[in-house]
Amino acid sequence: MPIGTDIEQAAALLRQGETVAIPTETVYGLAANAFNEAAVLKIFQAKQRPSFDPLIVHVHDRAQVELLVSRLPEGTDQLMERFWPGPLTFVLPKTDRVPDLVTSGLDTVAVRMPAHPVARTLLGMLDFPLAAPSANPFGYVSPTTAQHVADQLGGKIPYILDGGPCSVGVESTIVGWGPETEQWTLYRAGGTAKELIESVIGPLQITDRGPLPVSPGMLESHYAPRKPVITGNITPLLEAHAGKRCGVISFTKHHDAAYNEVLSPAGDINEAARHLFAALRRLDASDAAVILAEVFPIEGLGSAINDRLQRASAKR
């Protein structure tokens, strides 16, 4: 049985150069020793992830950041102080210690200090940081429970460390320092609201284009279920799909559809983010022909929810 709560076992496997699925507050990650290229290669194999998609390196403390990052631009300290540990990833110039496989040959590395207590305990037991992308087959919806990981990668990885359902439920926000623009840029909306980041360092530049090669968190089609997803106003969408079994993802309201996934009846956008991926997975596994999703309010984590739904709806 590959699911368990034995942190010692997870640490032992990671020290041996194996991969382990680990809980974080955002989504479950598939982790390996970031300094061991052979171990990192196993992540790419298990996920069938193309090698042009760089990984996020998870750190325990600031000393590990120093091993990975060669320069901390102005504002980095304030942002780390305010949002770490937590769902904010920094893309910064890398040191020579970071293997090319981790960064897909880019001269920057993505680093994050996760807040999940199990992830923090595990990182504290290891003397290396963990490279970890989301623990799902490339391009599919990210996992927010240990069972989600087992459903898809169960036979391919030696251990899934169960830390309960993820409390944030969408991936980290990614910011980077653009060397050309000398400005902080938002690369991916996520678990830390843009407004909060801007309250610390001022306006973020927005880009829908990553540093080259294009970073797949920004691929048009990503985070996608197998079923078609259509976003918009639910009532006209239901009329347009009359006669079909529809699955509806909404914020607060129940609709007249075969399946309803109301993400937060109380209207709490953080709760909605927490429930999004499990809802997408349930509808994907149902006999609904199509998934219809509302556009969420753009405050706070609403931007991240809309971003994921839009990519889930992009044509492959």
Question: With CB cut-offs between 5 and 8 Å by kind, which of ligand AMP, Mg ion, none does residue 49 bind?
Answer: none
- C-alpha 146/C-alpha 9 separation (Å) is 16
Min CB(241)–ligand AMP separation in Å: 31
**SS3 state at 273:** helix
Q: How far is CA 85 from CA 8, 25, 143, 207, in A?
A: 22, 10, 20, 25
Q: Which is nearer to Mg ion, 108 or 250 (CB)?
A: 108
Task: Give the phi and the psi of residue 283 in degrees, each rounded to 5.
Answer: -65, -35
Binding mask 90-119 for ligand AMP (x = CB under 6 A): -x-----------x--x-xxx---------
Contact segment (CB under 6 A) with ligand AMP among 155-163, 214-222, 277-285, 293-301 equals 214-222
Residues 272-311 that bind ligand AMP (CB under 6 A): none
With CB atoms as reference, the residue minimizing the distance to ligand AMP is 217
Question: With CB cut-offs between 5 and 8 Å by kind, which of ligand AMP, Mg ion, none does residue 173 bind?
Answer: none
Residue 145 sits at the vertex; the CA angle it makes with 267 and 255, to the nearest 5 degrees, is 35
Question: With CB cut-offs between 5 and 8 Å by kind, which of ligand AMP, Mg ion, none does residue 169 bind?
Answer: none
The reply to whether 216 sits near ligand AMP by the rule CB under 6 A is yes
Q: How far is CA 94 from CA 2, 12, 68, 109, 216, in A?
A: 34, 27, 6, 5, 19
Residue from 173, 192, 215, 313 in contact with ligand AMP (CB under 6 A): 215
The reply to whether 144 sits near ligand AMP by the rule CB under 6 A is no
Size of the site for ligand AMP (CB under 6 A): 21
Nearest to 60 by CA among 116, 133, 103: 116
The answer to whether 269 and 301 are in contact (CB under 8 A) is: yes
Contact segment (CB under 6 A) with ligand AMP among 34-42, 208-216, 269-277, 289-297 equals 208-216
Q: Which is nearer to Mg ion, 136 or 231 (CB)?
A: 136
The answer to whether 24 and 119 are in contact (CB under 8 A) is: yes
Contact segment (CB under 6 A) with ligand AMP among 50-58, 146-154, 194-202, 282-290 equals 50-58
Nearest to 272 by CA among 132, 144, 137: 144
- C-alpha 230/C-alpha 212 separation (Å) is 29
Q: Which residues bind ligand AMP (CB under 6 A)?
A: 53-54, 56, 91, 103, 106, 108-110, 133-134, 171, 174, 187-188, 210-211, 215-218
